[in-house]
Amino acid sequence: MKPLADFEFPSDRRGFLRRAVRLEAITIAYLLSVLVLFGLVYDGTQIIKAELVEVGLSLTAPIAFLVAQPFRERSPSVQFPYGFHRVVSIAFLVASVGLVALGAFLFLDSGLSLIQVHRPTIGSIEVFGRVIWRGWLFLPILVWSVVPAVFLGRAKAEPSRRLHDKVLYADAEMNRADWKTGLTAILGILGIALGFWWADSLAALLISFNILLDGGKNLRACVFDLMDRVPHRVDDAAVEALPARIATELKKLDWVRDARVRLREAGHVFLGEAFVAPVHHRDLMPRVAEARDRLLRLDWRLHEVVIQLEEGATDEAGSS
């Protein structure tokens, strides 16, 4: 089996990988700065509690990406003949479960506070000899928690597609959507300032609901991929076209009467089988080897294709 060190990412993708690693490291440092700032002014309000949880959970995707990166570069072994491509998906699966669990807890907690008519009391703090309402300090921190995140999300979008990395893409999507939770929190703080007590719990309820949606979407994608679902594009919006391309390429060969293809995703690479019905049985061994090499040149993500000869192959869902 081809060593992953030589295959994992071709030379023209390594630049995108280095950029992704750099962006994830910057993201972690940035989110930690947000957590520190929130921690300095936190006073127990539901809004800021929800933001703290949301920012803390946002750390899971970049940490999962960076921690898993050295492992997926390992070569296959006797115990793991297919390599370690899926280690990122497994790491993100664990993170997604945590996202759903904490999002559900926060949603129930915020809902209970709303039902119990919990009135927030945002106190004051002395800054450079002046007493300032904490709510005004929350606003610039909330802006800081949103604006850089949106730009980081946009910067990660291209590397995630170029690397076919669904964890990186999910992280980019969460970063780009952070303006929604940030705006919700800002409106909640302004609502409290205007005397609307329910703005605290309502804003926290909306933020936690957004956490639940993100967690549920990511969890669904992780589970389906680990169940060897038909390969999908990195944005999960449509079925991947590669199986159909492989079948079309095989049918172009003069010795192939029919072909169907079955692929599965292993992290960001594809492995699978091609079932080929030959026109004749002359010189099939070299023809099969040539066809396999030809297929592997179709797409850098295609790691391994096993060509199996059979008497009659008909088109099925996997090749259309």
Helix, strand, coil % in the chain, rounded to nearest 5: 65, 10, 25
Residue ranges of the chain with pLDDT lower than 50? 1-6, 313-320
CB 1 within 8 A of CB 76: yes
Write phi, then psi, for 104 (nearest 5 degrees).
-65, -45
Q: What is the CA radius of gyration of the chain?
A: 25
The model's pTM is 0.83
**Cα 293 to the center of its chain, rounded Å:** 31
C-alpha span between 187 and 51 (Å, rounded) = 13
Per-residue b/e over 190-217, b at no fewer than 16 CB within 10 Å?
Answer: ebbeeeeebbbbbbbbbbbbbbbebbeb
Which pLDDT tens digit goes with each residue over 304-317? 899 999 875 444 43
Which pLDDT tens digit goes with each residue over 138-191? 899 999 998 999 999 999 999 999 999 988 998 898 888 888 888 888 888 888
